[in-house]
Amino acid sequence: MIQISSLQKAYGAQILFDDLSFLVNKGERVGLVGRNGTGKSTLFKMILGEEQTDSGTISMPKGYKIGTLEQHIHFTKSNVLEECYKSLRAEEEWDHYKAEIILSGLGFSEGDFKKDPYSFSGGYQVRINLCKALLGNPDMLLLDEPTNYLDIVSLGWLKGFLTSWPGEMMIITHDRDFMDKVTTHSMAIHRRQAKKVRGDTIKLYEQIILEEETYEQTRQNLEKKRKEMQALVDRFRSKASKAAMAQSRIKIMAKMGAMDKLEDEKTLGFRFNHLKCPSKTVMTVKDISFSYDTKPENNLFSNVSLQIKRKDRIAIIGANGKGKSTLLNCLAGELTPCSGAIIPHPNASLGHFGQTNIDSLNAKNRVVDEILTSNPNLSLQAAHAICGAMMFDGDLGKKKVKALSGGERSRVLLGKIISRPTNLLLLDEPTHHLDIESIETLTEELEDYQGALVVVTHSELLLRSLAENLVIFHRGGAEYFHGGYDDFLEKIGWEGEPVKKKKSGKQMSKKQARKLRAIQRQQTPETETVVEEKKPRRGKNRK
């Protein structure tokens, strides 16, 4: 177990922790949430001894072993298996099968085991580090965004592995559905302190809301009582017969103390602009195939056909490296298929979110300049409003792109998309760099978007919330599937996994997501920002 007591940490004027305390008991698996920048990763570094505290204590039993997912890549062995074997405990040094099981679960084939670990992509190198962390059989696992480089198949395996993890664990992930499935407790870094509950993130946020509502009601009552007393003092201070009473009230007021009003926390607050398309079909895709070397035998996908209608919700799913992003880039016009045709409607207006777009942001530009480049008709005032909606308030909108983190750049790209009207959104892992609160806001806005949506995602929560039809990369190809994600699991399923019986969990998952977003809207007032004017949402009454 680990005990944190009265932790303090600040970087100049920025205070991360103020008297932060909590306890992780034996066998607890804790999901750690909090907005980006609240210090989640810093807390992990402090527990690992990689970052100093300003004050406070971190206590753990003698000989307590902590395993963590190293983001730094440093391999010393000539092949993947040998690199992983060295993480086995001394009493398990010959249990090589354990490494093979974990590597297979994380998406490595048997042919990959003998390859040089440096021959793999960065994402797969992080998977090797994840295997090493799991293989070490530590007393506690500290996992910072372990889902970032996993595809939907590997995520399913890791979910099962961590659910049966016998030791303690703390995990940071933007995938709320994954977190709730593998943890026993949820903890938030909120207002520089730690709040921990047994149960999922919905229960955690409900508790936070309840406590803050109670605090605010108490503060208002105290303020009302103070004003009443002050009015009495002002009225009778100058009257000799009432002077003693006035002095008594002054002493009572001095003892009452003060309760500061809670600050509103920054949150995404925006709405996608929609351009109406006169046709029922926004884009037609006819028998397209693609290969980077133009050889048909090396095609990433072949003969893919679909029609994207003006209110479609299509998700592209499958293992990493199979062509999901490539297909999306073809739809966006950034890549040209080797055969077949992509025919957008003349009035089609695309909004494309992808890694290539993030990389193409002008590093020398300010945030507000990047927003302005996306729509020449945008006023400076509207651009600043969008900056604010993307959590770049005031002078933050003047920050240079080169100074931004990956998550901040994602928000800039999102701001560029909402700055102009669209009728087809093409989104490649749009939740990748966002915190849980921002993901909930994005999901809600996508549900209400009046145009068509094609999204690449490995988030089962996002799939169940949005996807009505699928393009599935599996069994050596890609195919269009009429139905949602649970329909796919029930009728076809992933290779090597049993077909899952359909449960009521689909609706419950969507219902819980709605509930969490409603809770979070109570916590921070929603800011709705579009471009020049706001349009009513379609067919839904918002509370």
262-293 CB burial, b ≥16 within 10 A, e <16: eeeebbbbbbbbbeebeeebbbebeebbbbee
Question: What residue type is assigned to position 528 of the chain?
Answer: E
Q: Within the chain, what is the greatest distance between any pair of CA atoms?
A: 102
Q: Quick check: 527 and 267 in contact, CB under 8 A?
A: yes
- pLDDT over threshold 90, residue 140: yes
**Residue 195, φ and ψ in degrees, nearest 5:** -125, 120
Beta strands in 27-172 (DSSP E): 29-33, 55-59, 66-68, 140-144, 168-172
Output the pLDDT for position 383.
Answer: 93
Residue 171: alpha-carbon gap to chain centroid: 13
- Cβ neighbors of 218 (< 8 A, separation 6 or more) are 259
pLDDT band at 241 (very low <50, low <70, confident <90, very high): low
Output the pLDDT for position 540.
Answer: 43
Between 43 and 216, the higher pLDDT residue? 43
Question: What residue type is assigned to position 308 of the chain?
Answer: I
d(CA 515, CA 497): 31
Q: Is 308 helix (H, G, I), strand (E, B) or coil?
A: strand
CB atoms within 10 A of CB 234: 10
**Residue 119, burial from CB neighbour count under 10 angstroms (0-12, 13-18, 19+):** exposed
**Residue 402, φ and ψ in degrees, nearest 5:** -65, -20
Pairing of strands 424-428, 452-456: parallel
Residue with tokens 């009493």: 91
Residue 343, strand partner residues = 284
Task: Give the lowest-confidence range in 10-24, 34-48, 401-415, 516-530.
Answer: 516-530
- pLDDT over threshold 80, residue 529: no
The region, left, alpha or beta by phi > 0 then psi within -120 to 50, assigned to residue 391 is left
CB atoms within 10 A of CB 66: 20
Output the pLDDT for position 100.
Answer: 94
Residue 465: alpha-carbon gap to chain centroid: 15
Output the pLDDT for position 501.
Answer: 59
Helix extents (H) in 164-242: 176-182, 201-236
pLDDT cut 90: percent of the chain above it: 60
- pTM for the full predicted model: 0.79
pLDDT tens-place string over residues 389-435: 998 988 999 999 998 888 889 899 999 999 999 999 999 999 888 88
pLDDT tens-place string over residues 141-194: 999 999 988 888 899 999 999 999 999 999 999 899 999 999 999 999 999 999
- pLDDT over threshold 50, residue 506: no
pLDDT tens-place string over residues 290-331: 998 878 788 899 999 999 999 999 999 998 888 999 999 999
Output the pLDDT for position 513.
Answer: 55
What's the distance, Cα to Cα, between the start and end of the chain in Å? 42
**Average pLDDT, whole number, for the chain?**
86
Which tokens go with 231? 């009015």
